[in-house]
Amino acid sequence: MRIIKSLGISIVLLIVVVFSVSAKDLTSSIKGKVTDRNSKEPIPYASVALEGSSFGAVTDFDGEFVIDNVPVGHYHVVATCVGYKLDKQEISLVDGKAAVLDFGISEDFIGLDQVVVTADRNKIARKDAPIVVNSISSKLLEQTSAATLADGLVFTPGLRVENDCNNCGFTQVRMNGLQGPYTQILINSRPIFSGLAGVYGLEHIPANMIQRVEVVRGGGSALFGGNAIAGTINIITKDPISNSFKAGAKYGIVGIGANGSGTSNDMSVDFNASVVANDKQSGIFIFGMNRNREDWDANGDAYSDLVKIENISAGLRAYHRFGNLSKLTLEYHTVDEYRRGGDQLDLPAHEANVAEEVRHRINSGGLVLDQFFNEDRISKLSVYASGQQINRKSYYGAATLEDENGNALSVAIPDYSAYGKTKDLALSTGIQFFTKSENLLFAPADITLGIENVYNSLKDDKLGYYNFEENKHVPTTNIADQSSNTIGAFAQTKWTLGFVNFLLGVRMDTYKIKNTVDGADYSNTVFSPRANVLFNLSKASQLRVSYASGFRAPQIFDEDLHIEASAARRIIHKLDDNLKEETSDSYTLSWDYTKSIGKVQTYFLAEGFYTHLKDPFKNEYSNIDENGNLVSLRKNADDAVVQGVNVEFKLAPSYKLDFQLGFTLQSSKYDEASDQGEDDEVANSTTDEILRTPKRYGYFALNWKPLHEFTTTLSGNYTGAMTLMHLSGGEDKYGNEIQESLVKTKQFMDLGINFAYHFDLGREVKLQLDLGVKNIFNSFQNDFDYGASRDAGYVYGPLNPRIIYLGVKIGNIL
């Protein structure tokens, strides 16, 4: 009933606001031209918009634009284009008279003049944001041949993407060393990623739907709710701003020249297109991707180290304007994915020795209504609703290879009990109001208020089967049945005082979590304050000081919803009866310096971070029971501290050459050392480190454009040594049984290169060819376990071995 009530309220608000729009006589227009300030050449596909309204237009191939039917009054008009600095001009419209406004904008080679939304939930210039916002552009994703979000997230300081299971291919992003569930992933500022979707969700977002990715490090619960202790990743999808199209295909050979059982193929095709009405009142952007990657075996033991993936993703983003100052935006995204790892992938899952097989069918989308107000044009009300529904069929199991006395069986006994079915539903509804005050207490201020409701339900069943050994039917068993509802209210104010800007905010979240299977219920109210100060030390130099509180509620998270299966164990997860929410205090101090010397643009950032985790979650392992299950019990552990420094540097002498570099030094430790293994008799399994967290990691990307048609991109990702647990059960390459221990890994440098050349087929259409190599020197893990009893979670280092690929694209925007 609570879900229906929340949705009903949101729909009523949408209808009320839409039909409350007051029309005004539309009698004036603005026309003009946007050109490159240096070359004087026209700039096509530039966006020209009136601040505080829904009016705007896109320039044609000659750089010209027209905005019709604009109410009379005084406006600030902004011209922007990807790769250029924004330009803002003022204009007063008089009834019946068309106005002419020309813009000359300069190239922004390293993206320092962007408008971002993740800093305070509103559009703001990056340099004016009270916190550091890093951005990964669609240009960088293209240049590094990123197929999905997982491929591109490494190109910003403090972020790593890792594979945590070579049976299922579970990937997660780590921000400032903290595991994936500490990072809130948003799509267009909305939290529609459920816990279940997060297991493989990084590979469900195709790169061709992304306009940019905004990254905010540090506690973000005060702004976006729970699970944002490490920070926030906001995926901004492409908008329909002009009539455009692009289609492409890429073929890659995985593992070429590497050890193992040979190579495998990775083939993908994608497209996107947008159509905008002549009156600019409506538009739609559609996208799609189909990817097929074969499994790959790194050490020749017939068990996968990269899993098989068959993925189809598609979606749309559309808008329509009602009247003068209101805009309705619709989004939809669907995923149909099959992935399989283990051995004997051509057989049904239960006939293999080890199999992890999942099929996801995911539907997600949302509605947003933005309503500006005529009387001041600086106030905006946003009403939004989003949801995600997942159906998952799974198999996590291993055949019996030995009898009860440890003797090898001539025929493996299939495990029929490992089939499962999972249903997951996530809903989010909310209202946000933004306004400006000329004098709030002591200075001009921006005010943001909001309330939102987030609901999630998860039901996981082990399917019934016929037990031939005992000659009886085993009924379907409910493994997990959890529902959670969180009501959050937030308020924040940002003051501008000359060289000092500061922001104060607070969020209150009341959560209720119910677990039907074990009868455990959790509820509490959590307050998350936030404070940020920006000092403009000079025109080029800025200092930022930030504090934020965060929390994670005691529930099942994404990493719990897959099982590391082997012939030795199946891991299932449970929550301790006394589990309480995990909280944090996060502090950040940063200094950045931006300087342009002629056409040369430079940027430097140094950011120190300190996060104190209180009552952090930790998993304790039981002994393997008679069914081969290893229970991982989540409990509260001793406090932990994550601290370090992020450094970022960008240099662009001209549009022909640009370079960026990011590096992180950090320490991640619990206050007290504890046993990280599953065998109490093993001495070498105690540490105070947060596992899988290197003390050093970073990236670089160099783009060189010697010709207008030709671009070369050299990129690299460095992963330092880290500590992780190696569980017993598998064998090494000499046939010796692995004994449980803590392992210190080696360091890796993953280098890649991409060559791109395009041909002009007409006035607008281009054809581009790409040739490249990922992980040129095959810097890849070489000590995977052997055999059915291997530790499937003993995975570290780069995501992929050496890959050689060839791609082709055609479109009018490449």
Q: What is the mean pLDDT of the segment spanning 111-132?
A: 77
Neighbours of 133 (CB within 10 A): 21
pLDDT (tens digit per residue) in 565-583: 544 455 666 778 888 888 9
What is the reported pLDDT for 627?
Answer: 62
Strands 629-636 and 570-575: parallel
Please state the domain count of the chain.
Answer: 2
Instruction: Tell me the C-alpha distance between 115 and 129, whole Å.
Output: 9
Structure tokens at 15: 């209808």
Q: What are phi and psi of 377, to 5 degrees?
A: 60, 15
Whether residues 96 and 141 fall in one domain? no
* 393 exposure class (CB count in 10 Å sphere: 0-12, 13-18, 19+): middle
The least confident of 23-32, 47-56, 410-419, 455-464 is 23-32
pLDDT at 241 > cutoff 70? yes
What is the reported pLDDT for 572?
Answer: 64
Whether residues 303 and 384 fall in one domain? yes
pLDDT at 552 > cutoff 60? yes
Containing H/E element for 6? helix 2-19
Whether residues 485 and 598 fall in one domain? yes
DSSP for residue 565 = B
Whether residues 117 and 82 fall in one domain? no
Assess if residue 478 is contained within a domain.
yes
Residue-range definition of the domain harbouring residue 600: 111-811
Assess if residue 1 is contained within a domain.
no
pLDDT at 411 > cutoff 90? no
pLDDT, averaged across the chain:
85
Whether residues 146 and 274 fall in one domain? yes
pLDDT at 632 > cutoff 80? no
Q: What is the mean pLDDT of the segment spanning 444-458?
A: 92
Instruction: Tell me the C-alpha distance between 447 and 529, whole Å.
Output: 16
Q: What is the mean pLDDT of the segment spanning 469-475?
A: 82
Question: Is the CB of residue 292 less than 8 Å from the CB of residue 267?
Answer: yes
Instruction: Tell me the C-alpha distance between 54 and 380, whole Å.
Output: 11
What is the reported pLDDT for 529?
Answer: 93
Domain boundary among 75, 105, 135: 105
Strands 696-707 and 710-719: antiparallel
The top-scoring range by mean pLDDT among 281-285, 517-521, 551-555, 770-774 is 770-774
Q: How many CA atoms lie within 13 A of 123 on its CB side?
A: 12
Containing H/E element for 658? strand 657-675
Assess if residue 490 is contained within a domain.
yes
pLDDT (tens digit per residue) in 656-715: 899 999 999 999 998 888 877 766 666 677 888 888 999 999 999 999 999 989 999 999
Whether residues 304 and 438 fall in one domain? yes
Whether residues 66 and 127 fall in one domain? no
Whether residues 229 and 89 fall in one domain? no
List, in sequence order, the alpha helices (H) in 131-231: 138-143, 149-152, 221-224
Domain boundary among 74, 105, 136: 105
The one-letter amino acid at 791: D
What is the reported pLDDT for 376?
Answer: 57
pLDDT at 90 > cutoff 50? yes
CATH number of the domain that residue 51 is part of: 2.60.40.10
Neighbours of 755 (CB within 10 A): 13
Assess if residue 115 is contained within a domain.
yes
The least confident of 226-235, 585-594, 713-722, 746-755 is 226-235
More confident residue, 565 or 752: 752
Whether residues 197 and 292 fall in one domain? yes
What is the reported pLDDT for 88?
Answer: 86
Domain boundary among 52, 75, 105: 105
Instruction: Tell me the C-alpha distance between 719 and 738, whole Å.
Output: 25
According to DSSP, the residues that pair with 457 across neighbouring strands are: 425, 483
Assess if residue 350 is contained within a domain.
yes
pLDDT (tens digit per residue) in 156-208: 999 999 988 888 888 888 998 888 888 888 888 887 677 677 667 788 889 98
Whether residues 75 and 129 fall in one domain? no
What is the reported pLDDT for 331?
Answer: 94
pLDDT at 453 > cutoff 90? yes
Whether residues 73 and 212 fall in one domain? no
pLDDT at 633 > cutoff 80? no
pLDDT at 10 > cutoff 60? no
Instruction: Tell me the C-alpha distance between 430 and 488, whole Å.
Output: 9
What is the reported pLDDT for 315?
Answer: 95
pLDDT (tens digit per residue) in 227-236: 788 888 889 8
CATH number of the domain that residue 670 is part of: 2.40.170.20
What is the reported pLDDT for 563?
Answer: 54
Instruction: Tell me the C-alpha distance between 412 and 399, whole Å.
Output: 6
Whether residues 156 and 42 fall in one domain? no
For residue 375, name the pLDDT band (cuts at 50, 70, 90). low
pLDDT at 298 > cutoff 70? yes
